Amino acid sequence: MSYTAPDDNVRVPELPDVTVYVEAIERRIAGATLNRIRFLSPFVLRTVDPSPADVEGKRVRGVRRIGKRIVIELEGELFIVIHLMIAGRFRWNEKAPGKIGLAAVEFSTGNLVLTEAGSKRRASIHLIRGEEDLRRVDPGGWEVVDISLDDFRRLLTRERHTLKRTLTDPHVYSGIGNSYSDEILHRARLSPVQMTTNLDDEEIERLWRATRDTLADWTDRLRRETGEGFPEKVTAFRGGMAVHGRYGKPCPDCGSPVQHIVYADNETNYCARCQTGGKLLADRALSRLLHGDWPKSIDEL
């Protein structure tokens, strides 16, 4: 049975990608004046107060990240909050492309263009007044690069879910999605369907270290790749990843073919030999199709 990997434009930018976006944008607009926002799609602006006219002429005080959202702070406690969702991307100082252009934010130093590939319009812009209202868009997940082991353990075990679900829950941990959760779990040598309440102390510490190290390593790597330029290819499938987007390819550590579980528009990638003791996790579609012929282990496969 053949398999085609999902298109790399249909995955949400996560903490490393958004961090590099924030840094690149801030280098270009810090201290600049916002001249105008042009909305090229009627659906991208999701708020009515403050109005676009209220933010025009304001100076940029800084750029930050809230989860997977990018926040441009303007003087007067005004904020532009941009959520790229799945296919939203930025371009700098380029002409807004016709079909995929959503908005152009024109600064005194250049133009930040928001685009979105595909027919579904999910990316959004919110104009917000005041820190109190800004806090309402924060899902509340903890930043994990500097989190302590005790706080990580407390958040991990307060509810019983799979590791994959908990790592990607924005109310628990900030900025982790489908791609980097796969890489974290592979690095930690843990199954994506292991329950959070079934881990011993050594496994929790291993997951804590893998979470921090994976996100820090990839953020540093993307910074080096971007340099002083602007991020141009933000994708979930990157060369150098161990398992994500590598279904059927050899695991870099043991050589076994990477496996996956597909559900809806998402998939979980893992190495059966490194993470599940050789056991194959049941893929809903394939296991229903094959019934008793579904292999139970990587060796049987």
147 versus 99: the higher-pLDDT residue is: 147
Q: Is residue 289 part of a domain?
A: yes
Residues 163 and 61 in one domain: no
Give residue-wise pLDDT tens across range 140-182: 999 999 999 999 999 999 999 999 999 999 999 999 999 999 9
Q: For residue 110, tell me if it sits in a domain.
A: yes
Which of 89, 113, 135 marks a domain boundary? 135
87 and 127 part of one domain: yes
Judged by average pLDDT, the poorest of 47-56, 275-284, 291-300 is 291-300
Residue 214, token pair as written in the block: 């994976």
**For the segment 194-208, what is each residue's pLDDT rounded down to a tens digit?**
999 999 999 999 999
User: What mean pLDDT is reported for the chain?
Assistant: 89
- Residue 121 resides in a domain: yes
Answer yes or no: is 10 within a domain.
Answer: no
Is residue 206 within 8 Å of 274, Cβ to Cβ?
Answer: no
Tokens 């329950």 found at: 195
DSSP 48-67: -SS-HHHHTTPBEEEEEEET
Based on the fold, state whether residues 211 and 111 are members of the same structural domain.
no
Residue 265's pLDDT is what? 65
The number of folded domains in the chain is 2
Given a contact cutoff of 8 angstroms between Cβ atoms, the answer to whether 212 and 188 are in contact is no
Amino acid residing at 193: V
Assess contact for 70 and 18: CB atoms under 8 A: yes
| pLDDT(301) > 70 | no
Residues 31-71: pLDDT tens digits? 999 999 999 998 999 999 999 999 999 999 999 999 999 99
Which residues constitute the domain of residue 243?
149-293
User: E strands along 50-199, which residues?
Assistant: 60-66, 69-74, 78-83, 88-92, 101-107, 110-116, 124-129
The residue with greater pLDDT, 147 or 262, is: 147
Is 141 contained in some domain? no
Output the domain CATH number for residue 177: 1.10.8.50
Domain edge (last residue) among 135, 167, 196: 135
Q: Which residue has the higher pLDDT, 11 or 141?
A: 141
